[in-house]
Amino acid sequence: MMIMRSEPTTPCAWANTLVSMWGPRFPVEVRQIAYEYSRRFNDPVLTISEADIPSFEGALAPLRKRGGWAILYNPSIISPGRINYTLGHEWGHYLCHRNQSPAGFQCGQSDVLGGTREQEREADRFASYLLMPLDDFRAQVGNQRMTLDLLRHCGDRYAVSLTAAALKWLESTPLCAAVVVATNGYVLWFRRSAAAERARIFYRSGMELPLGSLARDGDNLRAAEGINLPPGVWWSRPTREVAIFADRYEMTISLLVFEELGVLPDGWEDEEVEDTYDRFSSSAR
């Protein structure tokens, strides 16, 4: 591989380099960038196409005879936003990880958004910063109250899924907030804002969705603006929940805003309020 003197070394640096080269044009054309930029290497991306492989969302596969790589995505994905983010994720693997894993990567649904392995998290970080540069994202959201309509605006602008847009908002907001992804009524994974981390808000994978939550007991008609929930549903404080119902995948995505807490200063800790995980564990016992 040809080495550039100033070759980036982190996912965010790679994304920022590409954004600066291609300019602030949205949505970002991942296919074009991958084809054109990878030509500077001796193992470029030669193919970006569908591949009907069960149980995978996307893949980065070596083309040994041709000396390059293929970026693949599952044709069963019907959401253009999910496809675009998946391509960004695999393009991130190419730039950041292909020398670490010559066999490539095959990423399931849980790896693209929500992955726990470091390489998957790095590929997500790259895709997020390439497709949704933080300055532009903050300019779109501003100080507006987060709703499903605002998430859709971001999803349309950047050609990403609502989940990806919600996670970007978590990263950008100073508010105490979280995103909880569940299937069949049980938590798959969650992410939280910096303020929510300081407040020690936590939801365990495999935990049953709480009674009274919009994701468990609500409907699509009430999901757009969200609903205000009393203490004891998602946390010991009032919570506003905006829910996304992805029926095809039997999934719900809950965007939780703990509005009463507002912005928490660094070092904030409420010693009188037990961790959410501890509270649910105590209830189960």
> Could you read off the pLDDT of 87-102 as tens digits, one per residue?
999 999 999 999 999 9
CB 26: neighbour CB atoms within 10 A? 15
Query: Is the confidence at residue 269, as pLDDT, over 60?
Result: no
Among residues 84, 81, 79, 80, the alpha carbon closest in space to that of 71 is found at 84
Of 75, 97, 131, which residue is a domain's last? 131
The per-residue pLDDT for 2 is 41
Tell me the residue length of the chain: 285
Q: Is residue 246 part of a domain?
A: yes
Query: Is the confidence at residue 40, as pLDDT, over 80?
Result: yes
Q: Is residue 279 part of a domain?
A: yes
Question: How far apart are the C-alpha atoms of 279 and 285, rounded to whole Å?
Answer: 10
Of 113, 131, 149, which residue is a domain's last? 131
Tell me: do 181 and 94 sit in the same domain: no
Question: Which of 11-25, 88-102, 105-119, 256-270 has the lowest average pLDDT?
Answer: 256-270
The per-residue pLDDT for 277 is 37
Q: Is residue 155 part of a domain?
A: no
Average confidence (pLDDT) over 214-221: 74
Average confidence (pLDDT) over 112-133: 90
Average confidence (pLDDT) over 24-35: 93
Q: How many CA atoms lie within 13 A of 54 on its CB side?
A: 0
Q: What percent of the chain has pLDDT over 90?
A: 68
Query: Is the confidence at residue 83, as pLDDT, over 50?
Result: yes
The per-residue pLDDT for 144 is 92
Q: Virtual CA dihedral for 137, 29, 125, 150, nearest 10 degrees?
A: 30
Tell me: do 15 and 126 sit in the same domain: yes
Confidence of residue 196 (pLDDT cuts 50, 70, 90): very high
Tell me: do 192 and 279 sit in the same domain: yes
Please give the structure tokens belonging to residue 241: 């929940």
Average confidence (pLDDT) over 46-51: 95
Whether residue 233 contacts residue 216, with contact meaning beta carbons closer than 8 Å, is answered with: no
Of 131, 164, 190, which residue is a domain's last? 131
Query: Is the confidence at residue 75, as pLDDT, over 80?
Result: yes
Cβ neighbourhood burial of 171 (10 Å; 0-12, 13-18, 19+)? middle
Among residues 182, 244, 232, 237, the alpha carbon closest in space to that of 208 is found at 182
The per-residue pLDDT for 182 is 94
Q: Is residue 150 part of a domain?
A: no
Q: Choose between 178 and 278: higher pLDDT.
A: 178
Q: Is residue 3 part of a domain?
A: no
Cβ neighbourhood burial of 220 (10 Å; 0-12, 13-18, 19+)? exposed
The 3-state DSSP class for residue 110 equals coil
Domain extent, residue 212, equals 173-284
The per-residue pLDDT for 219 is 63
Into how many domains does the chain fold? Answer: 2
Strands lying side by side in the sheet with 177-183: 186-192, 177-183, 251-257, 239-246, 227-229
Average confidence (pLDDT) over 16-25: 90
Query: Is the confidence at residue 129, as pLDDT, over 60?
Result: yes
